[in-house]
Amino acid sequence: MGRPRFVRPLATAAVSALTVTLVGAVSPTSAAAPAPPPAPSANETAIQQWAQRTTRGMSLEEKVGQLFVTYAYGRTADTAHPANREEFGVDTPAEVVEKYHLGGMIHFGWTDSLHEPQQIAQHSNGIQRAAMNSGAEIPLVIATDQEQGAVTRIGEPATQLPGSMALGAGRSTQDGKRAAEITGAELRAMGINQNFAPSGDVNVDPQNPVIGVRSFSSDPGLAARFTGAQVSGFQDARDLDRSVSAAVKHFPGHGDTNQDSHESLPVIDHTREQWEEIDAPPFREAIAQGTDTVMSAHIVMPELDDSGEPATLSPTVLDGMLREELGFDGVVVTDSLRMEGVRAKHPDAEIPVLALEAGADQMLMPPDLQLAIDSVMNAVREGRLTEERIDTSVERVLTMKAQRGIIRDPLVDTEAVGDRVGTDEHRSDAQRITDGTVNVLRNDAGLLPLREEPGDMLVTGAGDSATRTLAERIGERGPRTTALPTGSAPDQERIDRAVAAAGDHDVAVVLTNAAWTDGNAAQNDLVRALNESDTPVVAVPVRDPYDAAHVPEVETWVATYSDKKVSMESLARVLLGEVSPRGKLPVPVPDPQNPDEVAYPFGHGVSW
């Protein structure tokens, strides 16, 4: 069977050299080339038929390659990096793609892949060319985790937003959709066509170490509405070259645990009824909105599947619940196979085979890519997996690529990136959205807003960038402002220095970041010490709002859910009375001394 061929047209005034046109190969039995894949707007049947034909023309090795998504090290596709030689046996990202016939690649900062937007776009084009010049000649899914807020892989000048729980506090699903539209358009301009977002997890457990502010809410209905809005925002752009595939995560729901699946295998004891009520709604809504991808979680829900297998390796969860019950027929991608949650019970060679048997389509970041691919190939040769089972997943992957426009237009215009990333419109919309997320939890002293000239202000606490940014933003408005970062675990010397500095100022703003955790509890000592001084104190949790219950004697608390610059600007506006706080708690804040009691209820927010 002929395989699709990519022919690069000559660069002319009308046709950019970056354009790639898929025209199909000449059949060995006919001089006429087969039809190219349907346009992304074509009906689903036509695209699926193309995916089936293309899959039949691929070798088994090429098919299996399509099922793996991994990283590679280097600033460009042709950058030689010693870590590539160590892990993959070749030197460059392009060679990694070619050697393994990869279906996808994921970018991280720690792989040296994410710098400025034009570099990212050039890197993405380079690995796309490598994919189109080797193997089945199918363009890549290029992914990252740009959830915004706590999980933001690409920094400025890309537009920054405060993240999911902040959006939940703002309560505007229109803003949630617009945030996804902005993020998706900028990712696509940089050549990234899949975003591993949004998190559909319902953060029921305040001590959740891995989800927290990555969740929209502890309320299933609110989380579902925002999850659906973001799926729509990522995928429903009027121009497909401004959209990305959404990947809602982590099925069947990672919100009610105090364990981190990166480090262990969490067990969630939800009954079937609890799962239906708490965990399922965001995934149902994402599927209703047509999410391209669902990511599996490395968690065990024994009431749903008593096998003890993590969801990623559970046919009951993936094939049964996700596909048969919820009706999802898109691409199921595993969470990273490097995580301990999926490696707790099985050797690395067994995990990708078990994932395919469970119903997964794409395996993300196996710790040994060659071993993983060989394991799947051997499972087919030995009859444990059928080639038809492999074909099913390959067809899903190809269908997604065709529907998202990746097959016809895999490359991006690197010269246009500056006009599409971090635009004035995007930044303005991001600031407007963020202004609506600031949540005043307590104003018992009537300190806010600081309508009168506030005098000298100290900004101290966790986060060097956040404290300095907030001090700058306040200082731009007139008050003499001092920044004094104290770190996430201040010792007594730093606490004493901050208290002494507060004595020379009229107001002290102290930022906390996950002060509710044992490792960061010294931040609470800082807040108490400042509160015992004669200087009025505003305490600001810039991540989880749960910090606010740990020092109840402080009378002024303002939650931002984010320490990004855009959030510090919104905080300055609220503190100085330029905008009214509109945020409402998207989670209840428990009393740490009496966990069954609520210090601040769901929906709470002070406004003026």
Does 577 map to a domain?
yes
Could you tell me if 444 and 338 lie in one domain? Answer: no
Contacts of 171 (CB under 8 A, 6+ apart): 222, 582, 583, 584, 586
Which of 12-26, 43-57, 360-374 has maximum average pLDDT?
Answer: 360-374
Q: pLDDT, tens digit, for every residue of 123-173?
A: 999 999 999 998 889 999 999 999 999 999 999 999 999 999 999 999 999
Using 50, 70 and 90 to split pLDDT, how confident is the model at 16? very low
Instruction: Look up the domain containing 330 and give its range.
Output: 200-365
Average pLDDT over residues 92-114: 98
Using 50, 70 and 90 to split pLDDT, how confident is the model at 12? very low
Percent of the chain with pLDDT over 70: 94
CA distances to 80, 255, 371, 421 from 275, rounded to whole Å, are 47, 11, 35, 39
Does 528 map to a domain?
yes
State the average pLDDT for the chain.
92
Query: How far apart are alpha carbons 239 and 409 in whole angstroms?
Result: 12
Strands (E), 288-384: 293-296, 331-333, 363-364
Q: pLDDT, tens digit, for every residue of 50-101?
A: 999 999 999 999 999 999 999 999 999 999 999 999 999 999 999 999 999 9
Could you tell me if 310 and 453 lie in one domain? Answer: no
Q: What is the pLDDT of residue 279?
A: 98
Average pLDDT over residues 508-523: 95
Does 299 map to a domain?
yes
Q: pLDDT, tens digit, for every residue of 390-437?
A: 999 999 999 999 999 999 999 999 999 999 999 999 999 999 999 999
Q: What is the pLDDT of residue 451?
A: 76
Q: What is the pLDDT of residue 344?
A: 92
Does 346 map to a domain?
yes
Could you tell me if 339 and 450 lie in one domain? Answer: no
Average pLDDT over residues 7-35: 32
Closest CA to 546 of 587, 487, 503, 489: 587
Using 50, 70 and 90 to split pLDDT, how confident is the model at 240? confident
Indicate if 335 belongs to the active site: yes
Closest CA to 250 of 299, 178, 287: 299
Could you tell me if 435 and 548 lie in one domain? Answer: yes
Domain count, the chain: 2
Using 50, 70 and 90 to split pLDDT, how confident is the model at 241? confident
Domain CATH code at residue 558? 3.40.50.1700
Could you tell me if 450 and 545 lie in one domain? Answer: yes
Q: How far apart are the first and last CA of the chain?
A: 69
Instruction: Tell the residue number behind the tokens 């969470």, with chain if given.
Output: 335
Average pLDDT over residues 259-276: 92
**Contact (Cβ atoms closer than 8 angstroms) between residue 197 and residue 455:** no
Q: What is the pLDDT of residue 41?
A: 73
25 pLDDT above the threshold of 70: no
Last residue of a domain, one of 340, 365, 390: 365
Looking at the DSSP assignment, which residues form a beta bridge with residue 105? 70, 142
27 pLDDT above the threshold of 50: no
Could you tell me if 525 and 438 lie in one domain? Answer: yes
Could you tell me if 357 and 432 lie in one domain? Answer: no
Contacts of 125 (CB under 8 A, 6+ apart): 18, 77, 191, 411, 412, 414
> Using CB atoms within 10 A of its CB, is residue 519 exposed (0-12), middle (13-18) or buried (19+)?
exposed
Does 460 map to a domain?
yes
Does 606 map to a domain?
no
The rounded Cα 316 to chain-centroid distance in angstroms is: 26
Query: How far apart are alpha carbons 245 and 289 in whole angstroms?
Result: 12
Q: pLDDT, tens digit, for every residue of 444-499?
A: 999 999 977 778 999 999 999 999 999 999 999 999 999 999 999 999 999 999 99
Could you tell me if 216 and 319 lie in one domain? Answer: yes
Does 576 map to a domain?
yes
**Contact (Cβ atoms closer than 8 angstroms) between residue 66 and residue 105:** no
Last residue of a domain, one of 365, 382, 406: 365
* Structure tokens given for 122: 């050039």
Could you tell me if 441 and 352 lie in one domain? Answer: no
Last residue of a domain, one of 330, 365, 400: 365
Q: What is the pLDDT of residue 454?
A: 78
**Contact (Cβ atoms closer than 8 angstroms) between residue 227 and residue 165:** no
Contacts of 20 (CB under 8 A, 6+ apart): 6, 8, 132, 408, 409, 410, 411
| Backbone dihedral region for residue 580 (phi beyond 0: left; psi -120 to 50: alpha; all else: beta) | beta
238 pLDDT above the threshold of 90: no
> Using CB atoms within 10 A of its CB, is residue 469 exposed (0-12), middle (13-18) or buried (19+)?
buried
Query: How far apart are alpha carbons 233 and 179 in whole angstroms?
Result: 7
CA distances to 29, 64, 390, 548 from 556, rounded to whole Å, are 78, 57, 58, 9
The rounded Cα 492 to chain-centroid distance in angstroms is: 37
Query: How far apart are alpha carbons 420 and 158 in whole angstroms?
Result: 9
Could you tell me if 272 and 344 lie in one domain? Answer: yes
Q: Which of 112, 279, 335, 544 is catalytic?
A: 335
378 pLDDT above the threshold of 60: yes
439 pLDDT above the threshold of 60: yes
Percent of the chain with pLDDT over 90: 87
Using 50, 70 and 90 to split pLDDT, how confident is the model at 259? confident
Give the full edge-to-edge strand order of the sheet including 507-512.
439-443, 556-559, 537-541, 507-512, 457-461, 481-485
Domain CATH code at residue 308? 3.20.20.300
Does 81 map to a domain?
no
Could you tell me if 484 and 354 lie in one domain? Answer: no
